Structure 1
Amino acid sequence: MRPTHTYLVVFLPTVVLFNSCVSSGKFKAMETHAQKSDSLYAWTMQTLKTCQTSNADLTQQKKDIQSQMTSLNGLLTATQDNNTSLRKQLLDLSTLSSAQAESIKRSLDNIGAKDIYIQQLRAAISHRDSVNLAVVLQLKAALGGYGEDAAIKIEKGTVYVDLSEKLLFNSDSDSYKIDDKAKQVLGRLARVLNDQPDVEFTVLAHTESVVHPQEVLVDDWDLSVKRSTSVIRILQTDFSISPLRMTAAGRSEYPGMAPTDTPEGRAANRRTRVVIHPQLDPLLRLLEHKQDETVAGSLP
């Protein structure tokens, strides 16, 4: 369509030339018509611009869709290839012999059994640690007032109570007699041990090589054993601890805890140690059961 204002330019001289011959009403009508034509042209151009913009957007959307289709086609191809590979693997698996299938089943069963075994071991260790913790707390409550003369510690799952020579034998390096004051200490220890009736323990006496031989004492070995049995005897007769739970042992001067060239070092070595054995029965039962299974499995 040719722009309206072009016609206006062509006919304008004529309008001017014959202005005197055209009435003012007709001139205004022509002028109004020209303004409408200009507005229509502006609207048409704006609409054309909008359509061109929309066309560009649609063209870009088409390109994006085509790109997505290309990507999806690639993904579809990869998925089909993967399905083909899986089908082949399934076919390969289906050709396993019955012996191979049984072997796989046994392997899976063994994995499950090992998991259960590990859980049982953890539970047994947790039980042992719980018992040890309870014993330590009770011992500290009962013997805490004696300070370093009644040292309580736990190492590698075993509880140790070190009672000094001063506390049990009144600092007499040649004595194995327990007086009434020492019996009070052993009474406190016995209350804790009686609260744990399943716990077994060893009384292990250590001495130091300055013993003066007596008629009943040959050397430190004799002294350490007599000190141990003295403690055991008091625990059994005075505090009713079952002898089935106790073991008496003497270590003489071996091994020393401290150098023997000072009085303090020798005093540290002259101790009586109560070794509270950890609760190993559940662990031992599990280990024995595992060993039996291993032996059975190795038999033809």
Structure 2
Amino acid sequence: MKLSIFPVAALVVIWMSQGCVSTKKYKDLQANYDSLQSQKNELNKQFQTGQQGLAGTTSRVKSLEEQLAAERSNVTALQAALDKCLTSTGQGNVNISKLVDEINTSNKYIQHLVNTKNKSDSLNLVLTNNLTRSLSREEMGDVNVQVLKGVVYISLSDNMLYKSGSYEISDKAGATLSKIAKIITDYKDYDVLIEGNTDAVPITLPNIRNNWDLSALRASSVVQVLQKTYGVDPKRLTAGGRGEYNPIADNSTDAGKTKNRRTQIIITPKLDQFMDLIGKAPEQK
């Protein structure tokens, strides 16, 4: 932007050339011309300053536009990443939900096993209490009843059960075996193992080769009395001998030998019930 003062200068020249301009008017015109020239210079300076400010502003606007474009690009990338994450999370939630269902099913099965075991333990305690209440004080001296790991062990001394040096059942054993038979009959869902045990002294009886034979024959005698005399279902009974190889005391003393010469009646829930319990989980409701 440039200011033109040609009309004023031309007027001054015309007036001077005509010789009709006074000194006073000339000075006024000169002063006016100088003022206009000064204004022109000031306006030129302001114009230059404005141009410089505009250039700076334009540069800043361009920089901001570049930053805005970069931020828009970042937002697009973040949105794509978020969409991918949400998709993956959705699949993950399905897997987690399936895992939680499996854990809940397992917990229900474990609780079912615990409840079954507690029920079995409770029945065994009732069985034990019923048996011990039915035995007299004298009988309790020859009978030991224990519940170990959910199994009832009734240990009978050989002095009470058998005739001396024999595997035949003594007359005094009848009353005790009848009480045990009643308990066995009442708890029909239990299997019964009759297990003979001896001390470590070698046997010298005719037709008996060793303590294996003696322990097995004694167990068989008890089984047959329970079956034939007291009506216990033989399908529930098992006879076995362990000889001298399951001691509960030191065979080097008379007291230890006495404890080791025993017959155990072992009462347990039926094996097939345990196998069914292990083989399948409870039905889901």
Q: TM-score, normalised by structure 2?
A: 0.64
Return the alpha-carbon distance in structure 2 between the equivalents of residues 216 and 133 of structure 1: 41
Query: Secondary structure of the equivalent of 1:180?
Result: coil
Task: State the distance in 2 between where 1:265 and 1:279 align.
Answer: 33
Contact residue 132 and residue 278 of structure 1 kept, 8 A = no
Quote how far apart the aligned CAs of 1:111 are: 2.3
8 Å Cα contact 1:128-1:279 kept in structure 2: no
1:178 aligns with 2:169: yes
Deviates most, 136-145 or 278-287: 278-287
Moved more, 131-140 or 232-241: 131-140
Match of 2:219 in 1: 228
Offset of 1:135 from its aligned partner? 1.0
CA–CA distance in structure 1, aligned partners of residues 219 and 153 of structure 2 = 15
- Find 2:95's aligned residue among 96, 103, 109: 103
> Could you tell me how far 1:102 is from its partner in structure 2?
2.6
- Does 2:259 align with 1:268? yes
The equivalent of 2:198 in structure 1 is 207
Q: Distance in 2 between matches of 1:282 and 1:260?
A: 38
The SS at the match of 1:162 is: strand
| Structure 1 unaligned spans of 5+ | 1-89, 291-300
Evaluate the alpha carbon distance shift between residue 139 and residue 104 of structure 1 in structure 2; reply closer, same or farther with a 3 A threshold. same
Matched, 1:240 2:234: no
Contact 1:201–1:275 (CA under 8 A) maintained in structure 2: yes
> Counterpart in 1 of 2:249?
258
Q: Tell me which structure has the larger Cα radius of gyration.
A: 2
In structure 2, relative to structure 1, the CA distance for the partners of 1:104 and 1:142 (3 Å cut) is same
Give TM-score, length-normalised by structure 1. 0.61
Pairing partner for 2:146 from 140, 153, 159: 153
CA distance in 2, matches of 1:177, 1:107: 61
CA contact (8 A) 1:217 1:223 kept: yes
Following TM superposition, by how much is the alpha carbon of 1:97 offset from its aligned partner in structure 2, in angstroms? Answer: 6.0
Quote the Cα distance in structure 2 between the aligned partners of 1:104 and 1:210.
Answer: 65
Stretch moving more, 106-115 or 127-136: 106-115
Distance in 2 between residues matched to 1:138 and 1:179, nearest whole Å: 24
Residues of 2 paired with 1:142 and 1:288: CA distance? 38
Q: Indicate conservation of the 8 Å contact 1:125/1:283, yes or no.
A: no
| Partner SS, residue 141 of structure 2 | helix
Q: CA RMSD in A?
A: 2.6
Displacement of 1:142: 2.2
Q: Given the alignment, which residue of 183, 205, 209 partners 1:192?
A: 183
CA distance in 2, matches of 1:151, 1:91: 73
Q: Which moves more between the two structures, 135-144 or 148-157?
A: 135-144
Alignment check: 8 A CA contact 2:156 2:262 kept = yes
The question of whether the paired residues in 2 share the 8 Å contact of 1:143 and 1:189 is answered with no
Shift of 1:191: 0.7
2:156 maps to a residue whose letter is L
Deviation at 1:255, TM superposition (A): 1.9
Q: Is the 8 A contact 1:142 1:189 kept in 2?
A: no
**Once the two structures are superposed, what CA deviation does each residue of 1:126-184 show, in whole Å capped at 9, x if it has no partner?**
211121111111111123521231000111111101100111014x2x21011222122
Task: Give CA deviations for 1:260-292 in whole Å, capped at 9, x if unaligned.
Answer: 2222221111000111114665553342125xx
Q: Is the 8 A contact 1:206 1:251 kept in 2?
A: yes
Aligned length: 202
SS in 2 for 1:177: coil
TM alignment of 1:63-82, pairs within 5 A: none
Please, which of 149, 158, 178 is the counterpart of residue 165 of structure 1?
Answer: 158
Q: Percent identity?
A: 32
Alpha-carbon contact 1:162-1:273 (below 8 Å) kept:
yes
User: What is the rounded CA distance, in whole Å, between the counterparts of 1:92 and 1:99 in structure 2?
Assistant: 11
Superposed displacement of residue 213, structure 1: 2.3
